[in-house]
Amino acid sequence: MIQIKHKDLDRFAEEHYEAISSYMGEKKVLRWNNKIKNDFSDSYDLKQLILAKPYELRELKILFSGNKEEYKLFKTYYSYLNIYKEPKFFIKKDYKETSYNAYKLVKNLNVSTCPYCNRNTIYNLEKSKGRTSEIDHFYPKEKYPYFAISFYNLIPSCKVCNKLKMEEEINIHPYEESFNEHFKFIVEKSNFYHSIDGFKLELKSEDIEVQKQIDTFKLDDLYQNHKDIILELIQKQAIYNDSYLYELLSQYEGTLFKNREDLQRLITCGYISDDEINKRPLSKLIKDISKELELI
């Protein structure tokens, strides 16, 4: 649902590789380089496998001709990413070594909500206590162990989505794109104002891949739990008509809020820009329904 964006993604990926390869040591890296060339292509080595972009991961799936069981050590290395108290991986920066783990990976990406559902927050606790998120392997590590530590195969997600996805394969990659433009929340059969039973919420998409993703993460079912938010938006539609909005802007623009968009966020309690809906849970739902109700 949400694309993971950051101007320093490539740098984070390089640090990821540096931390893992430093732990392996030169001899192991050399052995893996030779094996990867044999199992995939002469064009690839360990670094390229770990740093492979989403389109390269798709290519590597097709190229692989080795024994995947020989890559089970990669799953062990992945487990080391989840160690906090006695970390295995380190990055050298400014003449100092700093620990590297899943906590650091999630913190770097600065992802606030689950990319798959936009329902749950992703939040790092204090280092000793870990994080509220889990790491989903876009290509499941049991089926594709050679991708177990590939940076762009590691997706910070909420526990619910990680459990629902399990070994399922989907095609819309969060590092590549979102599918927000290809589906929307719709209020149907409305007889509302006072009850969540007075209307029906539907997720609609004509894109087969988007619909598969909606089904995989049970988004249609899960979002029925948030009909109270839609009811509040319906009630706000009646309160915040154009004349009232104009009055609020005239009186408070530049003091309580910066502009009309700021006021709309205050009213709807969600971000309404596509570039910002990742900042707060349920912002996609709020945006779609607010548009339908002409609140924004």
Query: pLDDT tens for residues 26-52?
Result: 999 999 999 999 999 999 999 999 999
pLDDT tops 80 at residue 182? no
CA distances (Å), origin 285, targets 75, 123, 268, 280: 36, 21, 11, 11
pLDDT tops 80 at residue 61? yes
Q: Does this model's pTM top 0.85?
A: yes
pLDDT value of position 188: 67
Better pLDDT: 212 or 195 = 212
Kindly write down the DSSP assignment for every residue of 234-263, as one continuous string.
HHHHHHS-HHHHHHHHHHHBTTTBSSHHHH
Q: What does the angle CA 289 – CA 216 – CA 67 come to, to the nearest 5 degrees? A: 145
Dist. CA 31–CA 270, nearest whole Å: 51
Better pLDDT: 276 or 25 = 25
pLDDT value of position 193: 54
Average pLDDT, the chain: 89
Confidence of residue 126 (pLDDT cuts 50, 70, 90): low
Confidence of residue 296 (pLDDT cuts 50, 70, 90): confident
Q: What does the angle CA 214 – CA 215 – CA 221 come to, to the nearest 5 degrees? A: 85
CA distances (Å), origin 128, targets 84, 88, 124, 125, 178: 6, 15, 10, 8, 32
pLDDT tops 90 at residue 292? no
- Range from 89-103, 105-119, 198-212, 218-232 carrying the lowest mean pLDDT: 198-212
CB contact set of 192 (below 8 Å; sequence gap of 6+)? 198, 199, 231, 234
CA distances (Å), origin 207, targets 182, 235, 251: 7, 32, 44
Domain ranges within the chain, ordered by starting residue: 9-165, 181-292
Dist. CA 17–CA 3, nearest whole Å: 22
CB contact set of 23 (below 8 Å; sequence gap of 6+)? 77, 80, 88, 89, 90
With contact defined as beta carbons under 8 Å apart, do 281 and 132 qualify? no
Tens of pLDDT, residue by residue over 212-271, are 999 999 998 999 899 889 888 888 888 888 889 889 999 999 898 888 888 888 899 888
Confidence of residue 10 (pLDDT cuts 50, 70, 90): very high
Closest by Cα among 271, 187, 278 to 231: 187
